[in-house]
Amino acid sequence: DIVMSHVLTVLSSTFPEGENFFVRSVAAVRDDLTDPELRRDVEGFIGQEQMHGREHQVLNDRLAEYGYPTRGINAYVRGLYWVRERIQTKKVNLAFTAALEHYTATLAELLLTDEEARKAVGKPGARDILTWHALEESEHKAVAFDVYKAVGGDEIMRIFVMFLTDLLFIFETSVMGLISLVMDRDV
């Protein structure tokens, strides 16, 4: 499925820089946390997110060899997070992290519970990395949210940022997916 290939590639392309942003967002407030269990959860979250980013980078490099625009998407996402981290507060960055982690947890749940979703991924290698990522996402799906709440993140900001994330996620993923399709030399 050519469209699904491009959608999944676009998502994977955003992960290395996204995972790095998640790590920086949570690490930026790590010293403000007093709950020892949450601090342990943060350390596990950071380790998993760093590994996810590395593995998706390997996958993205391979996808780039097939002509997918993973490097361009990665550069765009890197710039986006660079700007965000310079103009937003730590709490807003955490709210975005919690919102995006909600998306990855939702996608993980779909992949782990729906055989058709796993089959739609296609190639066993890509399916394996996405299933592994989904399993790990389910392990720490609430950590960023818990950290956000622990440092005084309020509900109004969380709801607003989730709404904004919804709009941006749908818009940017659609635009990047369309660009990826248009650039595909086999279409």
Question: SS3 string of the chain?
Answer: CHHHHHHHHHHHHHHHHHHHHHHHHHHCCHHHCCCHHHHHHHHHHHHHHHHHHHHHHHHHHHHHHCCCCHHHHHHHHHHHHHHHHHHCCHHHHHHHHHHHHHHHHHHHHHHHHCHHHHHHHCCHHHHHHHHHHHHHHHHCCCHHHHHHHHCCCCHHHHHHHHHHHHHHHHHHHHHHHHHHHHHCCCC
pLDDT digits (tens, 9 = 90+) for 35-94: 999 999 999 999 988 988 888 899 899 999 988 999 999 999 999 999 999 999 999 999
State residue 4's pLDDT score.
79
State residue 1's pLDDT score.
72
Separation of alpha carbons 69 and 61, rounded Å: 10
pLDDT above 70: residue 187: no
| Global pTM value | 0.87
Distances (CA, A) of 7 to 26, 42, 159: 27, 30, 26
What is the average pLDDT across 15-32? Answer: 94
Separation of alpha carbons 67 and 73, rounded Å: 13
Separation of alpha carbons 97 and 38, rounded Å: 16
Are 136 and 49 within 8 A, CB to CB? no
Tell me, what amino acid is at 56? H
pLDDT digits (tens, 9 = 90+) for 146-172: 999 999 999 999 999 999 999 998 899
Distances (CA, A) of 14 to 75, 104, 169: 9, 12, 11
Site of tokens 């739609």 = 120
- Mean pLDDT, rounded, of the chain: 89
Site of tokens 């820089």 = 17
